[in-house]
Amino acid sequence: MIIIAGSASSKLAERVARQLNCPLLNPEIKRFPDGELYVRLDNKLEEEHVVIVQSTHHPQNDNLIELFLLLDAAKDLGARHVTAAVPYLTYARQDKRFKPGEATSAHTICRLIEHAGADDFLTVDMHNNGVIQNFSIPTYNLTAMPLLGQYLAKLKLQEPVILGIDQESLERVRRVAAELKADYDYLGKLKVSPKKITIQPKHLEVAKRDVILVDDIISTGEIVIEATQILRRQRARKIYAACTHPVLSGDALQKILKVGVHAVIATDTIEHRTSVVSVAPLIAGAIRQGF
Ligand code: R5P
């Protein structure tokens, strides 16, 4: 088996290769003067199982094209089996036609990955698990929630409450909470007057307790910021935000910290300064077991 490091996930690919104790190939990736990408795999790949590790966060389109070129080149160079390990799959949130005429981008991207040469596909905490049904190749959607929970369990949290941002996130939150043996809940909408709706934990009191907000993605940080302001009014003690994918566009992290979030805890599906938890053991474990 050979692990190929896409440029968006070079550190993670190295960690996965180390876990699997197998060779790591760093492809030659350059840009032509007009901005086009050049990709070269300078290794013998015939009859190999090749795993390409490439996340597709910003710059999304460049990272996607690199993924397509790597998949196609590996296949063309005779790899026996090519796994697309895409820890963060971009466009996954545009998973249906919300308005007539919209492109269902998630479906398009899945089809393109498959057509580029992937024999199977692996990702982590895909926004909507239904999206992977667009593939006809075998797919696996791993979850980093237990790893986040294990990290949180090492912090000295006081009567922690793990909070999801909506009812749909309850299963994710449960997986985190199980590692800490902590209480968990989600933020429900509450009508305070005919004109005003606020959010608050559906069942639990947070006063004087540490709260960990858990989401799959933190992007603009708007949800975390709104939730933090409300939790602070409810006298929560320290507030943490944990996520799998630290998209954290623009100055989102600064804004989140400014409203009083103690720390953002994320994984390395996207390499970011908040990536304190590695999904390498998760990906390596899945590959080792043949998914
Ligand atoms: C949305 O459905 C996702 O699960 C996240 O809750 C969302 O992407 C977070 O967005 P933001 O950080 O921009 O509020």
- Provide the token pair at 225: 């910021």
pLDDT digits (tens, 9 = 90+) for 110-126: 999 999 999 999 999 99
Q: What residue ranges line ligand 1, CB within 6 angstroms?
A: 127, 165, 215-223
How many angstroms does the Cα of residue 130 sit away from the middle of ligand 1? 17
Q: Could you report the per-residue pLDDT of 162-216, keeping only the tens digit for each? A: 999 888 899 999 999 999 999 999 987 666 676 666 676 777 789 999 999 999 9
CA atoms of 122 and 140, how far apart (whole Å): 5
36 pLDDT exceeds 70? yes
Express each pLDDT in 263-285 by its tens digit.
Answer: 999 999 999 999 999 999 999 99
Sole residue written with tokens 């397509």 = 68
**Which atom of ligand 1 sits closest to the CA of residue 220?**
13
**Ligand 1 atom 13: the closest Cα is on which residue?**
220
| Residue in 30, 75, 99, 189 annotated catalytic | 189
Residue minimizing CA distance to atom 5 of ligand 1 = 217
pLDDT tens, residue by residue, 236-261: 999 999 999 999 999 999 999 999 99
> Is the distance from CB of 254 to CB of 224 less than 8 angstroms?
no
For a mutational test of ligand 1's pocket, the pick from 131, 219, 253, i.e. the residue with the most ligand atoms closer than 8 A to its C-beta, is 219
**Any catalytic annotation for residue 189?**
yes
DSSP alpha helices (H): ranges in the chain?
A: 10-20, 60-76, 105-116, 145-153, 170-180, 222-233, 252-258, 280-288
What is the average per-residue pLDDT within 5-21?
98
Locate the ligand 1 atom nearest the alpha carbon of residue 169 and give its number: 4
Measure 223 CA to ligand 1 centroid, in angstroms. 7
